[in-house]
Structure 1
């Protein structure tokens, strides 16, 4: 059969029969690359049921089932003995699942998976760690920093998927770790390793192995400069769980975030601290994020964001000063830049603060990246505090969504936010008016409900 030439977008995986300067799907320029694709034989089976597919002529034995005839069993989960990883996975590692872990180079992806593999091997689980980037000697140097390992954890340096499949079939481990998917290649695809065709084919092969042999599989993926996993977008659709490891390599903490999870919540996060011996769990992120907070400084206030089921207290810092240029500068670190501009417009229109000739900088301390609307009230009060150069009491916390009319709207999980603030010693809580009567009886706290930003501003 004759090979054909197609063009793939390296950014989103869009396929075209001819080259184009701009990708019609993601609108990026100069991302189309040429690859030669070998057509598969017509009778080749590549589905998940390839190992048990019926022969030709026996397809009449396959009968669809109604919903009531399908037996529902609880997922069999393995404990990684890393509480933050278990939380993000939804309670543990599901048997037969395919999990993609993405993140910047050097962020700690391989270290986290190596620690999880070590913990599970100590419970008697057989683990196969396959590296396409490091030699066995390099892996041992990195592993010596983590601790002692049992014989249930085996290592293999290989990039050929045909050999990898043969080894997995022979060893039959319970967990397989692939580091990384961009280094793997199949001899059936003529493209280079890391190309769109190879990444897609490699993921399809690993998915078939994981489902047919009921092996839990981790795949490490490189990310682009935009922070998304490199390769075709279909890669994230094929896997069961997508985890992103975020954080600055110069900072000590890391955030593990689930953006897709078929076995749990997609809003959970896990917080880790990088140490010499590896990654350590941060079981109280709020206390960790508020460490070193300045006292009696204007433009600083603490607010509360909820990630999944976990409330996290975070310090919002704002700096407002007169501009030296004709056009004022706005900058936001850790939150949405456009949202900050919107809130400043609300303060000018509804509160009367004239900031059209002022530079404004908003920062979430600690480098956290949060987008929840509950941060709105804290951002507004921090900007007002800096603009008027009046410090806010350090035992005050504020949260609530701010609308375009200046009203403060309700947010979810209000009681959990309040109890987290009380646990860390805050005395005054500014929140939406609707919850004031429900929470005013909490001992040791002063609950102040506000209907608008103007009401909150009058408190100070």
Structure 2
């Protein structure tokens, strides 16, 4: 007979303890250990000579055939870009994001497109009824006959419906609402999420069906549930943006079938998510050039060059400790640039509150925008704009004040030329590889040289 015992499991990281602890020793979070009943069966030891058939024998790597995985076209070019060219059969994709950001809208539009092109699609919702999904579908003009809606949270029943329906694509919204009856803990607990994810992965791999599962996020914006969930799936997507803004960015955090540096840009409209094929034009739509503190910078998101506006504001303060606020860039990077400006140019930023914002809700990675940030901060302190009209700025700032070269500078300048820019400030070491018929290309080696050229 099975022996029943209980364990205390951390709801953040999955750490298990035989007794309750106030602080998890693994992730150092407080009050996260919850008692869960576990059933342990007697271990059955099998001898190798008793095994009748070994179907999956080890193979030499030279004997294994390699080939590109077959992919489904999702009907959304931006989603295909993020996934690496389309939806791989048998893959398990996890998508997360803040509540109300548009995850269900994106998946419903994808399900509608795939069902029209390839066959039956099953959309399983544990949070909404069929009627609620139908109301959203009417608003999004989702009317595919092969799209089936199921409101269910019991994973055993969901698996039975998949066996009966034989769909080509399955969406489960969300993993925190699904449960297995054999697990006694509540839905959303670490044990339920781990077991249900394992079962879903087995369904997808055995039946060669691509699956999308939705996951909740914590207050800190991190993926809710155990860390093993991210390791288990093939692709992790994060849908980001502000609910008050119309732009949404779909970013890849992990992808076994493609790159992790691509992004997809969408606009939330009344009739659903619209794809943005030219994000530079959208992000610069309301830019007021030659305003103090405003600089247009070029960044690379995967293979896509994007121009965005970065705004900096420096105001004098009487407080003992000046404030530093950064939205869209790393706050540590902002402090580094401020330290370089204070040391090399003797600008007293310790007397200023500094605020930096990337327009459009985009979050920047890398160092391509360092020079634009530095010059925008100086422009705000001087209370004057740049003397060069319609200018784009590209470059990394070193700790000694030198301007270091950046990769893909030529592609960024071509994007700026396409957008109608007239001037470009780039690192001197990038200038030999950059050509433009209509733009004035200015190479700079250090911050002082850059200041003399634009102020």
Query: Structure 1 length normalisation: TM-score?
Result: 0.95
CA 1:71–1:132: 2 relative to 1, 3 Å: same
**1:402 corresponds to which residue?**
397
Of 216, 221, 234, 1:222 maps to 216
1:307 is matched with 301
Deviation at 1:215, TM superposition (A): 0.6
Q: Which runs of 5+ in 1 are unaligned?
A: 46-53
Which residue among 61, 72, 79 is the counterpart of 2:66?
72
**Alpha-carbon contact 1:301-1:394 (below 8 Å) kept:** no
Matched residue SS, 2:27: coil
**d(CA) in 2 for partners of 1:44, 1:316:** 63
Taking a change above 3 Å as real, the CA distance of residues 429 and 186 of structure 1, as seen in their structure-2 partners, is same
Does the 8 A contact of 2:9 with 2:35 survive in 1? yes
CA distance in structure 1 between the partners assigned to 2:132 and 2:68 by the alignment: 39
- Match of 2:9? 8
Structure 1 residue 125: deviation in Å? 2.3
Gaps of 5+ in 2: none
What residue number does 1:366 align with?
360
Match of 1:278 among 272, 275, 296: 272
The answer for the alignment partner of 2:436 in structure 1 is 442
- Aligned pairs for 1:13-162 (under 5 A) are 13-40=14-41, 42=43, 57-59=51-53, 62-162=56-156
Once the 2 structures are TM-superposed, how far is the Cα of residue 351 of structure 1 from its aligned partner? 1.5
SS of the counterpart of 2:329? coil
Q: CA deviation at 1:150?
A: 2.2
Residue-by-residue CA offset, 1:363-408 (whole Å, 9 max, x unaligned): 1112211122111111000001111112024411111111111111
1:303–1:398 contact (8 Å) kept in structure 2: yes
Classify 1:271/1:43 alpha carbon distance in 2 versus 1 (closer, same or farther; 3 Å): farther
Contact 2:312 2:357 in 1 (8 A): yes
Match of 1:343 among 316, 333, 337: 337
Preserved contact between residue 112 and residue 143 of structure 2 (Cα < 8 Å): yes
Q: Deviations over 1:249-302 (max 9, x none)?
A: 111111100000000110110010111111000111111111111243201110
Moved more, 32-41 or 136-145: 32-41
1:338-380 CA deviation, whole Å, 9 max, x = no partner? 2111110100101121222111111111221112211111100
Query: 1:144 & 1:164 partners in 2: Cα distance?
Result: 25
Asked if 1 retains the 8 angstrom alpha-carbon contact of 2:289 and 2:390, the reply is: no
8 A Cα contact 2:283 2:360, kept in partner = yes
Which of 228, 237, 245 in structure 1 is aligned with 2:231? 237
Aligned residues of 1:222 and 1:230 also touching (Cα < 8 A): yes
Deviations 1:153-174 (A, max 9, x none): 1111111111111111121111
SS in 2 for 1:38: strand
Structure 2 counterpart of 1:427: 422
| CA deviations over 1:75-123 (Å, ceiling 9, x no partner) | 1100011000000000000000000010111111011010011111111
Residue 20 (structure 1) shift = 2.2
SS in 1 for 2:231: helix
Q: Give the direction of change, closer, same or farther, for the CA distance of 1:61–1:133 in structure 2 (3 Å limit).
A: closer
The answer for the alignment partner of 2:372 in structure 1 is 378
Q: Which piece of structure 1 moves more, 232-241 or 412-421?
A: 412-421
TM-score by length of 2: 0.96
